[in-house]
Structure 1
Amino acid sequence: MTNTVSSSNAPTATRSQAPLRRVLLLDAAASGALGVASAAGSSALDDLLGLPPGLLLGVGVFLVVYALGLVALARLATVPRPLTWVVVLGNTAWVLASVALVVGTWSGLTAPGAAVVLAQAAAVAVFAELQYTHR
């Protein structure tokens, strides 16, 4: 005979975390796509954006690894709240660093480069807000 008694917290926790899981997976998709584009196009994008190829390659690789981590986090049976905070704070730091890059003294950043950096910062800010809201 199969035991049908289960923990009442597990289904509720999984269901209540569904929005968070979706946001983590969307963040992973966006981060992974930007990471692949940055890494693969680092040599071609440097003149357009005004960012060194080495920086674009490094950021691209980081974003791909980050995306894989987000997928792994979203697939856990229960997404740990402390790890969600790490993602929210990391995304917030990314936004602040992106804005600092644009308003700072980076001499080589082009107008299209500033637009790309600010657009991705805005997207990351939305992800951070959604992850915070659904944590």
Structure 2
Amino acid sequence: MMSSQNAGTVPATAAARSDSLLRFALVADVVLTGANGIGYLVLATVLDSFLGVPVSVQYPVGVFLTVYALWVLVVSRQENISRGSVGFIITLNVAWAVAGVATVVVDALTATGIGNGWIVFQGLVVAAMGGLQYVGLRRM
């Protein structure tokens, strides 16, 4: 017999299964974005000449990505993941991907060929991450 206390709840195992892809996608975003952000902060002087992206751009981008990764980590660790937060994460990922490609197209950073390739690659990875998060969100 079911008590009135647990009649409207979903068993923990079913809840874990319904959001497992989303949690995976969010944690992958944390790892990749966090590593990228920290890399920009720690290796900015090396990457400056290699990528052709000025240190004055890398430091703020590194700070943004690191803070963003920490926020995504907080979202991913919630017992009940906020759909609104995930929607905002997906939107930011799509915007980042589009902005990266646009930056290369208009040559806004006058990056090296390797730098432009890195920016486009990063945009594709971020777009894929947003897509995986979208699929995970739809499965919840």
How far did residue 60 of structure 1 move? 0.8
Letter in 2 for 1:53: V
Query: Cα deviations across residues 11-33 of structure 1 (Å, max 9, x unaligned)?
Result: 24343111101110001000011
Q: When the two structures are aligned, how many residues end up with a matched partner?
A: 133
Match for residue 83 of structure 1 among 82, 85, 108: 85
**TM-score for the superposition, normalised by structure 2:** 0.88
Structure 2 stretches of 5 or more lacking a match?
none
SS at match of 1:106: coil
Query: What residue identity is the alignment partner of 1:9?
Result: V
Aligned to 1:103: 105
Q: Which ranges in structure 1 are unaligned for 5 or more consecutive residues?
A: none
Superimposed CA distance per residue, residues 21-59 of structure 1 (whole angstroms, 9 cap, x where no aligned partner) = 111000100001111111111111111111110111111
Secondary structure of 2:50's aligned partner: helix
Q: How does 1:1-135 map to 2 (within 5 A)?
A: 6=6, 7-9=8-10, 11=12, 12-106=14-108, 108-135=110-137
CA RMSD, Structure 1 to Structure 2 (Å): 1.8
C-alpha contact 2:30 2:69 (8 A) present in aligned 1? yes
TM-score normalised over the length of structure 1: 0.91
SS in 2 for 1:91: helix
SS at match of 1:86: helix
